[in-house]
Amino acid sequence: MFYKPPHLAPSTVWGLCILAAAVLTLCYLYACTRRPHEPVQPLPFSHATHTAADGSAMDCRACHAAAHHAAGAGLPAAATCLDCHRHILPADPRLLPLHAAANPDHPAYTADPLRWARKAPLPPYIHFHHGQHTAAGHSCDECHADPDSQLPHTMSSCLDCHRRQNVTTNCDRCHK
Ligand code: HEC
Ligand code: HEC
Ligand code: HEC
Ligand code: HEC
Ligand code: HEC
């Protein structure tokens, strides 16, 4: 008359619980620790290492000089990296793609360039000029607080500052 649940040995019940917990943990790790759209980079470059006072303490302009005058900030040539990495961590496997790209003295050399993926590009219909903004006194970290996990730029992040600074909010100044 009534539904009688099948008898399960306590060890089986524990086994099922552990299995369920393992599946949930894996789902969590997959969904929550991998940021959406995180691009695959040719090697694990870290801004934190290179700009920290106890690292190589580099200024942004050493690698992105164009941000001070041009529309695009640009990305550094592999030769810039090799200036240091011929001597710093010369045998580190993480730097093999760099030697492959730019170091003819290295056995791994293929002349295959480093193809960096952009994390937060603007849509192609937007007009943005770095030089205009740096000349107006804005520093890199106002718009790039953490370049290692750069968030996408939004229209409201542009407009908030344009309103504060009494700069244009005409649609067609930003929209091509
Ligand atoms: C040693 C050279 C180097 C230095 C110094 C450096 N960068 Fe970069 N930067 C790179 C490389 C390589 C990339 C491409 C790989 C990446 O995105 O991490 C990059 C990418 C970026 C990006 C692109 C993010 C996107 O949308 O993909 C921003 C923004 C940026 N850097 C800002 C800065 C700022 C701000 C500083 C100073 C605090 C700085 N960088 C210092 C080498 C450098
Ligand atoms: C001014 C010197 C200098 C330049 C230029 C430079 N690096 Fe480095 N790099 C360092 C130093 C210092 C370290 C930390 C070394 C250590 O851990 O002992 C480092 C560490 C690294 C590491 C190991 C991972 C980490 O973050 O500790 C990678 C990968 C790397 N650099 C890639 C690059 C790439 C790619 C470029 C060019 C875009 C570059 N570096 C340009 C000095 C430099
Ligand atoms: C007013 C905001 C703002 C300031 C200030 C700013 N940037 Fe940017 N940056 C942007 C935007 C928006 C993009 C995306 C541009 C695109 O995709 O066309 C960008 C893109 C970049 C990129 C990716 C490569 C490229 O050429 O687009 C780098 C590198 C970068 N900025 C570095 C810097 C550095 C270094 C400074 C300081 C000298 C700086 N930026 C100052 C807003 C800013
Ligand atoms: C931190 C403040 C700030 C942010 C953020 C900012 N801007 Fe600006 N923007 C300015 C200032 C200040 C000027 C005026 C520069 C001048 O007077 O030459 C300007 C000027 C401009 C101009 C030229 C306007 C004209 O009259 O021709 C364009 C286009 C522009 N910004 C687009 C953008 C876009 C797109 C974004 C977002 C991705 C953005 N800006 C984010 C401060 C900002
Ligand atoms: C200061 C620069 C700036 C101005 C001024 C501006 N926009 Fe934008 N707008 C942007 C940026 C940057 C994006 C892209 C944001 C993104 O990719 O999420 C955008 C995206 C949009 C989108 C697409 C949104 C989406 O979700 O795809 C629309 C629609 C839009 N803007 C309408 C307007 C209208 C209408 C005006 C005038 C009232 C205007 N914008 C003025 C910078 C601007």
Contact status, residue 66 vs residue 72, Cβ threshold 8 Å? yes
| pLDDT score for 31 | 59
Cα(66)–Cα(140) distance, rounded to whole angstroms? 12
Does residue 15 have a pLDDT over 90? no
The domain spans of the chain are: 9-38
* Amino acid (1-letter code) at residue 82: L
pLDDT tens by residue, 54-95: 878 999 999 999 999 999 999 999 999 999 999 999 999 999
Instruction: Give residue-wise pLDDT tens across range 22-34.
Output: 887 776 766 555 4
Cβ-Cβ contacts under 8 Å for 100 (sequence gap 6 or more): 106, 108, 109, 110, 111, 112
Q: In this model, does residue 7 exceed pLDDT 90?
A: no
- Give, using CA atoms, the residue closest to atom 37 of ligand 1: 60
pLDDT at 147: 95
Q: What is the pLDDT of residues 108-143, one digit of tens each?
A: 999 999 999 999 999 999 999 999 999 999 999 999
Q: Quick check: 36 pLDDT over 60? A: no
Residues 6+ apart with CB under 8 A from 128: 71, 122, 174
Q: How far apart are CA 154 and CA 165, in angstroms?
A: 17
Distance from residue 17's CA to the centre of ligand 3 (Å):
49
Partners of 175 in beta bridges: 126
Answer whether 151 contacts ligand 5 (Cβ < 6 A).
no
- The pLDDT score that the predictor gives to residue 33 is 54
79 lines ligand 2 (CB under 6 A): no
How remote is the CA of residue 171 from the centroid of ligand 1, in Å? 29
